[in-house]
Structure 1
Amino acid sequence: MSRRVLILAHTGREESLKAAWEACALLQVSGLIPVMQKSELADMVSFFGQLDHPVEVLHDHVKLSDVELVMVLGGDGTILRAAELVRDVDVPLLGVNLGHVGFLAESERADLEQTVDWIARRDYTVEERMTIDVQVWVRGQKIWHTWALNEAAIEKGNRERMLEVVTEVDERPLTSFGCDGVVLATPTGSTAYAFSAGGPVVWPEVEALLIVPISAHALFAKPLVVSPRSRLAVEILNRTDARGVLWCDGRRSVDLPPGARIEVTKSATPVRLARTHQTPFSARLVRKFELPIQGWRGPVPQTGTVHTGPIPVVHTPGAMPSPAAPRHAGSGAPIDPSTAK
């Protein structure tokens, strides 16, 4: 049975075009069929000329559901675009970082040949990342419904006006404040916009929802981590005529008039990411953010079973001694009355 791999690339960049060209050739040599979107394939042909290897066209030659895996060549923005494409099908994404940080990417540009080999040998696992369901209500009417992998970011619409908002958890108001915005994020998004706004880093395997105010003018407007079963909401108050805008993953947006209500819950549909090696999340943090770890010694090796010594008995001055059998000082062993002198 033929195995197909869809290649998604940022074809507006020369580096991405070269990586896509190389990936197509490597996939073919490995016995896999490369697939591309028509517009991106046209960009590649326009740049390189006629290809030496056949490439199938998505929707013309093959359906998305017939693809085994999507290889994403680019940064986190390209991976978020790929996540939109595969939203309704059960196809994992494997990112090859061509950007700066590329936190969602699994490998780097220099590892492209090795990555294709892992795919050919099916030497990868798939992990599921939580997403959020996002709804916007205005005067009791739902005007927008979408989803996000990273975050739903509420921002002020005018630079000179603060937003007045009230936050809500599980249909109970929490606090109101003026701010530049509020980020409602997933653990995956904790290293994106929420991180820039001062939110905590949450390990991907921890299911949770984050509320992170942006430049809040209030004492109790700190980042919060709540249950994934909670329902979060933010309302744009009518105290002023300041308007906002809601961005989901930085790709889809809607205007927010005063009185708008944004509701966020855990989505039932996750994003599936392919992993070619089980790198701990802590190691990914260190590598991506170039964190200083010089001087680290690591855990002390345990060479054998560790036994604790006798617990000393401490008498409080003036207190009656314990009726327990007398002991030799420091020995921890009871004294035999028949041999005691």
Structure 2
Amino acid sequence: MTRRILVVANPHRDETLEAARLVADTLGDAVVDVCTELDRMPAGPAEAALVLGGDGTMLHAAAMTRGTGIPLLGVNLGRVGFLAELERDDVVHAARRLADGDFDIEERGTLDVVVTAPDGTTTHGWALNEATVERANLRTTVEVALDIDDHPLSTFGCDGVVVATATGSTAHAFSAGGPVLWPEVDAVLVVPLAAHALFSRPLVVGPTSRVSIEILERSSSDGQVVLDGARAIDLPRGGRCEVRRGTQPVRLARMNDAPFSERLVRKFSLPVDGFRGTRRDRWNPEI
């Protein structure tokens, strides 16, 4: 049986295209076929996907492989790269370990989204990081009503509302002042954006809760729902967006058993020297 690995690379950067060629050579030496388009693959599933780029490329790969169960291994060739497992110098190492099947699987929760227009028609979507209800007119705010589990919580004017997974807590929600959630925290994060309200703090709700955001008729702007910063659904005045925990997780390939705190320290360059002694040697075995 032919073995196949899907390679997803940011096509707009020379560095990622060169890394993809290096990966193809490495996998070829291991007698593993390389596919670059999931819908054009020959018969037979891919064992895994090697994703070369930043978080945007990882989110694109998650959308491309949705429903297939293919685990994603990210090599960060972008900037922060929170979803990536390895860094740019690890490209060949990553390809070899994928070819050997030497990785663990970690499942990350997603969000299922239903947008209901004023006429009752519905549009369905999903997100790995976040679903953001945003103002369609950037020159004004949008008036929203927020409820949890069909119980009204508050109405306010704002730039928008972010509803995020634990995975997405370090993305848009973080930039809006939301807390960082460890990946294993099974919860949904709600963060208002520049809300004109006394009660506008981030909320962490339970995994079975339903978060609903309605664009009020009195709003001076329509809205839109943006999924993972890439896919948009119109949300006119009188429309409603309901978000709940997704039924299909995303599977990530893991090759490093370091704790999440190490990822935070590395990605955000947090100062740790001097805190109960110099501990960098604990986090980086190469030092």
TM-score, L = length of structure 2: 0.93
Correspondence 1:182 to 2:161: yes
Distance 1:7 1:173, change over 3 A: same
The 3-state SS of whatever aligns with 2:121 is: strand
Q: Which of residues 252, 273, 283 in structure 1 aligns to 2:262?
A: 283
Q: Contact conserved, 1:135 with 1:142, CA < 8 A, in 2?
A: no
Q: Contact conserved, 1:133 with 1:147, CA < 8 A, in 2?
A: yes
Partner of 1:88: 67
The 3-state SS of whatever aligns with 1:165 is: strand
Partner of 1:199: 178
Partner of 2:86: 107
The 3-state SS of whatever aligns with 1:70 is: strand
Distance 1:238 1:94, change over 3 A: same
Q: Alignment identity in percent?
A: 51
What whole-Å deviation, never above 9, does each CA across 1:295-331 have from its counterpart, x for those lacking one?
02269xxxxxxxxxxxxxxxxxxxxxxxxxxxxxxxx
- In the TM superposition, what are the counterparts of 1:263-278 in structure 2 within 5 Å? 263-278=242-257
What whole-Å deviation, never above 9, does each CA across 1:51-105 have from its counterpart, x for those lacking one?
xxxxxxx544524x61000001111101111111111211110111110001000
**1:203 and 1:60 mapped to 2: Cα distance?**
36
The 3-state SS of whatever aligns with 2:147 is: strand
Correspondence 1:257 to 2:218: no
- State the Cα distance separating 1:265 from its structure 2 match: 0.7
Q: Contact conserved, 2:108 with 2:252, CA < 8 A, in 1?
A: yes
Distance 1:282 1:70, change over 3 A: same
What whole-Å deviation, never above 9, does each CA across 1:213-260 have from its counterpart, x for those lacking one?
000111111000000100110111112331112100011102221111
Partner of 1:121: 100
TM-score, L = length of structure 1: 0.79
The 3-state SS of whatever aligns with 1:297 is: coil
User: Which AA in structure 2 matches 1:81?
Assistant: H
User: Which AA in structure 1 matches 2:27?
Assistant: L
**2:102 and 2:53 mapped to 1: Cα distance?**
22
Please list every run of 5 or more consecutive structure 1 residues that lacks an aligned counterpart in the other structure: 38-57, 300-341
User: Which AA in structure 2 matches 1:32?
Assistant: V
**1:28 and 1:170 mapped to 2: Cα distance?**
52
Distance 1:232 1:60, change over 3 A: closer
Partner of 1:24: 24
Point out which structure has higher relative CO (alpha carbons under 8 A, 6+ apart). 2
Q: Which of residues 37, 42, 46 in structure 2 aligns to 1:62?
A: 42
**1:147 and 1:60 mapped to 2: Cα distance?**
24
- State the Cα distance separating 1:279 from its structure 2 match: 1.7
Please list every run of 5 or more consecutive structure 2 residues that lacks an aligned counterpart in the other structure: 279-287
What whole-Å deviation, never above 9, does each CA across 1:152-179 have from its counterpart, x for those lacking one?
0111111221111111001100011111
Q: Contact conserved, 2:50 with 2:95, CA < 8 A, in 1?
A: no
Instruction: Provide the aligned C-alpha RMSD in A.
Output: 1.5
User: Which AA in structure 1 matches 2:33?
Assistant: I
**1:132 and 1:60 mapped to 2: Cα distance?**
28
User: Which AA in structure 2 matches 1:34?
Assistant: V
**2:106 and 2:65 mapped to 1: Cα distance?**
15
Q: Which of residues 142, 145, 150 in structure 2 aligns to 1:163?
A: 142
**1:225 and 1:61 mapped to 2: Cα distance?**
41
Q: Contact conserved, 1:166 with 1:176, CA < 8 A, in 2?
A: yes
